[in-house]
Amino acid sequence: AWRAVYEAKLFAYARTMRAAIPHMLRQQRGAIVNISGNGGRYPHFPSHIAGSSGNAAVDLMTKAVSDLYVDQGLRANCVAPGAIRSPRLDSISGADEALKKAANGKVAADVFEKQRRTGAPGDIAQATLFLASDRAKHINGIVLTVDGGATPTV
């Protein structure tokens, strides 16, 4: 399961960037926007440890790429969605419920108890489009949390 997660997250992004970067370098400009997940920094789902660590790896790789190519006109950023209503989120939530039952309720409360609102896929699309646009031309190397205010930080 861990290999599948890293193949789908980290290695797929690495291969895509490896294919795209030479074209961007020829143009002396480009914007990479990877999608990770808020679990890479705040692992809310106990059943999703592999996915959260894969997200953290994508975040780190994105920052490394942003630093590596900044002087050549490339930007690399990452969008980290929080809870986005989807069949995948329902699956993760179901796995967490099963884990809680197996642990006799001793697993921490899930993200929905802290989530102010569950987002829609379009919320992530808008953040991604912004980071890819020239309006974000001076933004490089960030992980943008898009979670409706659920992350407990300033």
How does pLDDT run across 8-44, given as a tens digit for each residue? 999 999 999 999 999 999 999 999 999 998 877 876 6
Instruction: Tell me how far apart the alpha carbons of residues 17 and 32 are, in angstroms, rounded to a whole number.
Output: 8
Supply the pTM of this predicted model. 0.79
**Residue closest to 32 by CA, chosen among 72, 78, 70:** 78
Report pLDDT digits (tens) over 56-111. 999 999 999 999 999 999 999 999 988 766 555 555 555 555 555 555 555 544 44
Distance CA 91, CA 53 (A): 18
Distance (Å, whole) CA 32 – CA 132: 7
